[in-house]
Every structure is written in structure tokens, then in C-alpha cells.
Amino acid sequence: MKIEFTDKELAPWGGMVLLKQMLDQTGLKKFLRSNSHLPQPGSNRGYQPADIIESFLVSVWCGSNRFLHTEILRQDSPLKKIFQWKRTPGQDVYKRFFKKFTQKKNHEFFNSLSSWYFSQLQFTDYTLDFDSTIMTRYGKQEGAKRGYNPSKRGRASHHPLMAFIADCDMVANMWLRSGDSSSSGNFTGFVEETLLRLKEKKVGLVRFDSGFYSKKVLRLLEEKQMNYIVSVKMYPPIQNLLAHQTNWLSLSEGVEVASADYKTNGWESPRRMVLIRQSIAERPAATGKQLRLFKDSELYQRYRYSCLVTNIDLPPAEIWRMYRHRAEAENKIKELKYDFGFDSFNLNNFYGTEAALSFVMLAYNLMSLFRHFIIRSDVQRRLSTLRYNTFAIGAYLVKDGNQIILKMALTLKRREWFRGLWDKSRAFAFPVSFSNA
């Protein structure tokens, strides 16, 4: 074997033409060009904000998970032609652009972006999941402080709040917070802003874990007349409630549930509690906690317990089943970190980092659109799979008169499959409807 070289411009990411086609149909660039809240270039020679944002999204989809990796796109001339960029920004352009975002600009721009985006998606009675995650930081970044960090104890971190729409696999909102923030820190404000972004939609169910459990939050949801299922912290009174429950209903091997009305100090009236206990012997991987208040009792050490508070009048088994689907939010966070670089795009500027991560959220939401309406598979493929199955297709560009043709290197068996995706991406148009919502 020997090697030779060619001057022909080959495109390693030929499949990205599908996303280019879908993006054009959404009108995203038109929205970005007309938005007055975006930072503008200092001269006529500067990059246009819409081009910076679009190329950043493409970088993330192609596998960049830190700013340095975005330099690879600058060497990809065919990709630049596919997306019709005059120039491809480098990492310093992205950094300077994101650092122009302030707290005020983040609030104004991303609220307007989300309101526009979600107004194009038709769904209602949706399920809203709230969660938070720890992002370990190395070096010095604004807001990176020592707090709860189970994987890297003592390391500085950021602790963002996140909201997910379970029915259509979208991120509804994200706030970056310092690492020493508690899970529930400024949570009510976050809920209010999230609902504002989705003001035209009706919330069917709100779910979150015990880190956000508080009287203030429950009262907020009840004032807004929202259905909720919330995991309860294992305070001593809750442990007593679980320990003295006798009317357990067996669901399956090793799982029992019960229901009780409960009123703690500071509550105006009782609330409904759904109690769960799982046998450790029969279900070693069961979730929940043991009752530390009764650690000397052999009976209580046989089980792991959970407690949910809800205002929904359904059987306990159904409440528990509905809550367990909240685990999908944690899977979305993992995909954001592993496939979209969510915990890797960081600057020494706090609000610049928040802006960069908010655009990562946009990349995730657009990819969800692509999966739902272009791929249309029963199996929800992760970006890491789509990247090498659908986007990493060798191609080259040729001109036929005034028309540019992208020649795809695909076997005969795959050509019909790709043509089907091409037709779907061309037919895509806002607004779209989620029939499963």
C-alpha cells in the first residue's frame, strides 16, 4: 500500500446537509437576525451574531465539547459551503461573543428565543421535570465554588438548575448557579421564569426530587393549580410516618405501597403522601433510603423507603409509576454532558458561560426536533449514534451550471434511506405538533 494526495475538497460531514435543510425551514436565522437583544459586532468586518450561533451549533453537533475543538470546522471548507458561511469563526470569536452577554442580556434574549421556539411547537397538558446537576471545574472561573460534589469532593463546581419537557424531550430552561448553591436555591424564581417561557401551554404535571421539596414550592404549585408529584425529604416525622404504616399493598415481588394524609408544622392543611417500601433482599438495587431513626430495628433495615407528596387523586401504584419516569431527566443530563459538551464549554466569565451553555441547550432542542420529525424512529438514538450513523458521510461538492450538488458516498442500500431523510428535512415546517403530548 502507498499513499497519495488530492486537492479535491472532501466533506467528512456530508450528512449535516439534513440539519442545514431543517434549520432553514425553522426560520431560526431570520429570528436571530431580527432579535435586538443579541450583542452586535463592533465593526462591519465582524462576524454576524446569527452566523456565530449557527456555526457554534454545528460545531456541537459535529462533536466539539470544548472551545478548542471548534477550530476543526475552520479547516472544513465543504461544510462552510453547505451552510453558506463566508467565514467560519474560531474559538476566540466564540469566546469574545459569549463574554458580551450580561445577566440582563441572558434574561432578555433567551426568554425571547424560548418563547418564539416553543410557540412553534404544538403540545399541551405536558409534564415538566425539574432537576439540577454538578459540573466540576478546574482552574478559576466565576461562580465556581466549593459545595456538594459527590464525585470530586472539595473541588469547585457550578450547580445549574434545569427544566425539561418530558413529552417532547426538550430543555425548557437552564440557570447557571455557583457551586455552593443548594438544590432549592432561588427555585421559585426559576419555576416562574420557566412557566413564562411556556405561557401558551397548559402544564399537566410537575415532578421534582427531594432537593426541591419545601412548603414554599408546594404552595406556589397549588396557587397555580398545577398537579404535582414531589419526592419528600426523609425528615424524622416522615420516617415515623413510614415506620408506623400498617396498610401496605403488595404490587409485585418486593414492592409495597400505601397512602396517608399528613400535616406537618407550618402547613395549613394535610397533604396526600404516597409511601413506598422495597425489600432489599428481593430487590438489591432498589431506590430509596433506610430509616436511620430506626436503625436498631431489624424489621426496618429490611427495606428501602420512599415518600411522595402529591395532589393527584390516583391509586398509589399509579402515582409511583408516574414519578419513576422522572428518571428520564437524569438521562437527558447525561446525554447533554457526554454528547453535547454541556459541562465542558466554560469561560472565566460567569454570564458568558451561562450564554454558551444556553446555546448548547438550543443545540439539544433542535436535535430533538430532528429525531422526532426527520429520523422518526421508535428508538430514540443519542447524538453520538446519529453523528456517526447519519452525519459522518463522506461527500464532495460539484457545480452544475449555477447549481451546487453534494455527491454522497453511500452504498446503494443506504441511498434510499438517505433520500427519505432528505425529503423529510425539505418538507419540515413550523409549527409542528407532538401527537404524544
Q: Give the model's confidence band at 243: pLDDT under 50 very low, under 70 low, under 90 confident, else very high.
A: very high
Could you give the percent of the chain with pLDDT greater than 90?
77
Tell whether the model's pLDDT for residue 184 goes beyond 80: no
pLDDT at 138: 87
Distance of CA 346 to the CA centre of its chain: 17
Q: pTM (2 decimals)?
A: 0.94
Given a contact cutoff of 8 angstroms between Cβ atoms, the answer to whether 143 and 177 are in contact is: yes
Q: How far apart are CA 336 and CA 54, in angstroms?
A: 18
pLDDT at 149: 82
Q: How many CA atoms lie within 13 A of 50 on its CB side?
A: 16
Q: Which three cell numbers stand for residue 309?
A: 407528596
Q: For 129-133, 152-156, 294-298, 358-362, which range has the lowest pLDDT when averaged over its residues? A: 294-298
Nearest partner of 370 among 75, 197, 168, judged by Cα: 168
pLDDT at 363: 98
Q: Give the model's confidence band at 404: pLDDT under 50 very low, under 70 low, under 90 confident, else very high.
A: confident
Average pLDDT over residues 43-53: 91
Tell whether the model's pLDDT for residue 49 goes beyond 70: yes
Does residue 431 have a cis bond before it (omega within 30 degrees)? yes
What is the separation, in whole angstroms, between the first and last Cα of the chain? 56
Average pLDDT over residues 111-125: 95
Phi/psi at 434 (5° precision): -95, 105
Given a contact cutoff of 8 angstroms between Cβ atoms, the answer to whether 400 and 6 are in contact is: no
* 3-state DSSP assignment of residue 400: strand
With a CB cutoff of 8 Å and minimum separation 6, the contacts of 207 are 127, 128, 129, 130, 228, 229, 230, 322, 323, 325, 326
pLDDT at 437: 41
Nearest partner of 59 among 344, 376, 396, 347, judged by Cα: 344
Q: Give the model's confidence band at 55: pLDDT under 50 very low, under 70 low, under 90 confident, else very high.
A: very high
Residue written as cell 443579541?
38
Angle at 25 between CA 20 and CA 31, to 5 degrees: 100
Across 144-237, the runs of DSSP E, i.e. the strands, are 145-146, 156-158, 161-165, 170-175, 203-208, 228-231
Nearest partner of 79 among 8, 6, 16, judged by Cα: 16
Q: Give the model's confidence band at 415: pLDDT under 50 very low, under 70 low, under 90 confident, else very high.
A: very high
Average pLDDT over residues 22-28: 96
Given a contact cutoff of 8 angstroms between Cβ atoms, the answer to whether 16 and 397 are in contact is: no
* 3-state DSSP assignment of residue 428: coil
Q: Give the model's confidence band at 186: pLDDT under 50 very low, under 70 low, under 90 confident, else very high.
A: confident
pLDDT at 162: 97
H or E stretch at 399: strand 395-400
More reliable by pLDDT, 246 or 20: 20
pLDDT in tens, 192-226: 999 999 988 999 999 999 989 999 999 999 999 99
pLDDT in tens, 87-97: 999 999 999 99
Q: How far apart are CA 158 and CA 254, in angstroms?
A: 38
Tell whether the model's pLDDT for residue 285 goes beyond 60: yes
Tell whether the model's pLDDT for residue 3 goes beyond 80: yes
pLDDT at 300: 83
Nearest partner of 343 among 189, 179, 103, 184, judged by Cα: 179
Nearest partner of 369 among 9, 12, 58, 26, judged by Cα: 26
